[in-house]
């Protein structure tokens, strides 16, 4: 290729890549898949490597510079970067509109309404269409030169599109970190053992403050423009909204929620609309900016101190506030999980007064390093549960001690424990712990456990509250006489309940083990334990080694079983249940002939017509098969019912035998 041909090819590739960038970032309408884009970029990069003399600074390959800076240079803003006055209520907005109308002497004023993005203000200077300098706002008059970092943001064009842009134009806008990118970045921070960022704005600011642009390049930053500063050579349109459209045509991204509205009524309607959308927008916003759309009117209105009189920021209720952590209380939940709850100095945030927030578990307390007396940042976004996002370390007074969850349950005094690498701390009190008792009784009575008809959740609460029962064993000492003394309990229902209780005494070992509500023992595990150990005595006396020898029983289940049957009060309850007359058929060890599916792994997906999914599982287990929840290379058969999910297609991919309902029932019949 001649040098001219090379240059032509380079230019063609750059134009094509820039065009796709424009489609992707500005129009939000990509035309080619990422792979094709990467191919173009690869070709350009290869050609440039071969002919480095033709590399230009605005080439799409030149976004990430190689040498870190020692410090950021100062940049003086020829036209100061201003701030905005705030409006907090509808009344404030009406007052603003009235002041504007009076000043420009019009009955009706159009406003350009835009989301107020929660990022940081940046000025981009383009000379002859080339990005030559990017600066932070700083104090409004002097900022920092962050050109190298800004160049790494793909949503910002290094070169403007088209021909009709002014020879000198300073574009202003907000660098943001979209919520999705923020969540991902924070997850990576945690995985690396680094501190997560408090919010997207801090993460964006921290990313731009890096002296090494290579680090900035890894951060998911984006940019929206919302105005212009210095403009030379060509006059811009006479409406703010038209200027924005022009900027868009030159390749700059503007926010798609922007809209021109009429008068204060239009402003209020836009506020309502955007507030409802707020939590579903891709970027964090903290309000709305309304700008007089007519630039001549803007000039008439001018400035007061450091804010324009032609624009105002209508703030949404703050989603973050600072308050004091007064105490940490411990709640014991239905599974025995200890939840630390922060008691806060009441604070108005996200539209409600918040005085409690969950601290989740010990890991979360450690991560935040939250100590009683600390000042904390509370966040409540939309209708989401309030969260403590960080501790204001600089405001810590004295030397408060680190907080640890208690070693004994605050409700029943039993030991607390963490299992395996679970974050949750549990009370080991089980059936003995008052906090867990109601839930344990509800679980015991439930259909898949002891199946006690007529003993619903409400009645369990009532029975415990009235002191008629304390443990699941007490259920079998209830009588009609005492039951009818309860509110809303007729003799007939009382008799029915006693009958159901009687009936429930004939059960199976698996149901009984499941009904005890041992932590992490679900129906399937209970069945496995019953099949393997054959008797309750064997299960109760099994040691760790014996338990771990059972297929599908891991260390967590083993530990839970052992811990449960070590507690004196649990043994007492079991004893009482048995002496109340609970019985089950003796389990015989099945011969190999009775377990033709032993060692086979099945997955059941979709809806079966002739039986429920649990029934199908039980039937398979009866024949010795193992039923798994997910398809893997180890799966032998997948039973596919109506409307199967991704499991069926995955099985097909892996070449696993699929059984339709007919084939499945035939297999069972055999």
d(CA 387, CA 384) in angstroms, rounded, equals 9
Looking at the Cβ atoms of 200 and 641, the one nearer to ligand IVH is 200
Containing 338, the helix (H) or strand (E) segment is strand 337-349
d(CA 613, CA 611) in angstroms, rounded, equals 7
Burial 431-447 (b: 16+ CB within 10 A, else e): bbbebbbbbbbbbbbbe
- Cβ neighbourhood burial of 294 (10 Å; 0-12, 13-18, 19+): buried
Looking at the Cβ atoms of 186 and 298, the one nearer to ligand IVH is 298
Residues near ligand IVH, by CB under 6 A: 82-84, 114, 116-117, 121, 137, 174, 226-227, 289, 308, 311, 313
Q: How far is the CB of 346 from ligand IVH (least distance, A)?
A: 28
DSSP string, 138-188: TTSSEEEB-HHHHTT-TTS-SB--SS-S-SEEEEEEEEE--HHHHHHHHHH
Q: How far is the CB of 80 from ligand IVH (least distance, A)?
A: 9
CA distance to 324, 373, 391, 605, per residue, from 397 (Å): 11, 8, 12, 57
Q: Strand pairing partners for 231?
A: 169
- Please report which residue ranges of 315-410 form alpha helices under DSSP H: 362-368
Residue nearest to ligand IVH as judged by C-beta position? 121
Q: Rounded to an integer, what is the distance from CA 182 to the centroid of its chain? A: 11
φ, ψ dihedrals at 378, nearest 5°: -105, 135
Strand 85-87 and strand 74-76: the pairing is: unpaired
Looking at the Cβ atoms of 80 and 196, the one nearer to ligand IVH is 80
d(CA 341, CA 331) in angstroms, rounded, equals 7
Closest CA to 121 of 201, 199, 239, 188: 201
Q: How far is the CB of 289 from ligand IVH (least distance, A)?
A: 4
Active site residue 116: yes
Say which of 76, 106, 116, 179 is annotated catalytic.
116
Give the full edge-to-edge strand order of the sheet including 637-640.
626-628, 601-605, 637-640, 657-659
Looking at the Cβ atoms of 121 and 243, the one nearer to ligand IVH is 121
d(CA 136, CA 149) in angstroms, rounded, equals 11
User: End-to-end CA distance of the chain, in Å?
Assistant: 75
Q: How far is the CB of 158 from ligand IVH (least distance, A)?
A: 22
Q: How far is the CB of 137 from ligand IVH (least distance, A)?
A: 6
User: By the 8 A CB rule, do 330 and 406 touch?
Assistant: yes
DSSP string, 211-230: SSHHHHHTS--EEEEEEEEE
| Residues assigned a catalytic role | 116
């Amino acid at each position: 290729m001649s040098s001219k041909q090379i240059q032509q090819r380079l230019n063609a590739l750059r134009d094509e890549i820039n065009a796709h960038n424009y489609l992707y970032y500005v129009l939000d309408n990509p035309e080619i898949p990422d792979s094709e884009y990467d191919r173009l970029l690869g070709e350009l990069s290869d050609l440039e490597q071969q002919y480095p003399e033709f590399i230009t600074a605005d080439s799409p390959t030149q976004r990430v510079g190689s040498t870190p800076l020692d410090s950021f240079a100062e940049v003086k803003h020829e036209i100061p970067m201003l701030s905005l006055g705030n409006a907090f209520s509808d009344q404030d907005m009406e007052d603003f509109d009235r002041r504007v109308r009076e000043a420009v002497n019009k009955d009706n004023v159009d406003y350009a309404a835009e989301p107020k993005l929660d990022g940081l203000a940046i000025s981009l200077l383009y000379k002859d269409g080339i990005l030559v300098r990017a600066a932070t706002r700083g104090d409004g008059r002097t900022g920092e030169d962050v050109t190298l970092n800004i160049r790494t943001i793909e949503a910002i064009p290094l070169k403007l599109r088209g021909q009709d842009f002014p020879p000198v134009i300073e574009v202003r806008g907000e660098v943001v970190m979209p919520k999705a990118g923020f969540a991902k970045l924070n997850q990576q921070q945690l995985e690396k053992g680094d501190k997560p960022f408090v919010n997207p704005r801090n993460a964006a600011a921290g990313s731009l403050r890096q002296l090494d642009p290579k680090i900035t390049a890894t951060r998911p930053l984006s940019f929206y423009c919302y105005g212009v500063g210095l403009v030379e050579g060509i006059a811009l349109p006479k409406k703010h909204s038209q200027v924005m459209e022009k900027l868009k045509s030159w390749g700059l991204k503007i926010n798609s929620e922007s809209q021109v509205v009429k008068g204060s009524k239009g402003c209020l309607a836009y506020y309502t609309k955007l507030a409802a959308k707020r939590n579903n927008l891709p970027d964090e916003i903290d309000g709305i900016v309304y700008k007089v759309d007519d630039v001549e009117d803007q000039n008439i209105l001018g400035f007061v101190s450091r804010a324009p009189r032609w624009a105002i920021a209508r703030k949404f209720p703050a989603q973050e506030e600072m308050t004091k952590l007064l105490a940490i209380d411990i709640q014991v939940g239905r599974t025995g999980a200890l939840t630390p709850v922060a008691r806060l100095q009441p604070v108005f945030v996200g539209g409600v007064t918040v005085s409690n927030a969950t601290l989740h578990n010990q890991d979360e307390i450690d991560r935040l390093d939250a100590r009683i007396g600390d000042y904390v940042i509370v966040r409540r976004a939309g209708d989401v549960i309030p969260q403590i996002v960080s501790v204001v370390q600089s405001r810590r007074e004295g030397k408060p001690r680190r907080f640890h969850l208690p070693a004994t349950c605050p409700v029943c005094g039993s030991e607390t424990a963490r299992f395996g690498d679970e974050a949750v701390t549990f009370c080991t009190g089980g059936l003995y712990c008052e906090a867990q008792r109601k839930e344990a009784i509800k679980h015991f009575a439930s259909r898949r456990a002891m199946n006690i008809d007529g003993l619903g959740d409400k009645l369990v609460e009532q029975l415990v509250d009235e002191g008629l029962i304390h443990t699941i064993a007490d259920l079998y000492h209830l009588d009609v006489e005492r039951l009818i003394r309860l509110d809303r309990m007729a003799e007939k229902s009382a008799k029915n309940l006693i009958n159901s209780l009687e009936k429930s005494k004939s059960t199976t070992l698996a149901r009984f083990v499941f009904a005890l509500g041992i932590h992490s023992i679900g129906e399937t595990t209970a069945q496995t334990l019953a099949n393997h150990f054959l008797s309750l005595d064997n299960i109760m006396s099994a040691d760790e080694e014996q338990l771990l020898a059972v297929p599908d029983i891991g260390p967590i289940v083993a530990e839970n079983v052992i811990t449960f049957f070590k507690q004196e009060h649990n043994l007492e309850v079991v004893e009482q249940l048995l002496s109340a007359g609970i019985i089950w058929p003796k389990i015989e060890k099945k011969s190999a002939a009775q377990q033709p599916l032993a060692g086979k792994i099945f997955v059941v997906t979709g809806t079966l017509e002739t039986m429920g999914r649990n029934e199908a599982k039980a039937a398979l287990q009866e024949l010795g098969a193992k039923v798994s929840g997910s398809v893997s290379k180890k799966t032998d058969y997948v039973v596919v019912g109506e409307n199967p999910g991704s499991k069926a297609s995955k099985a097909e991919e892996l070449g696993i035998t699929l059984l339709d309902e007919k084939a499945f029932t035939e297999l069972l019949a055999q």
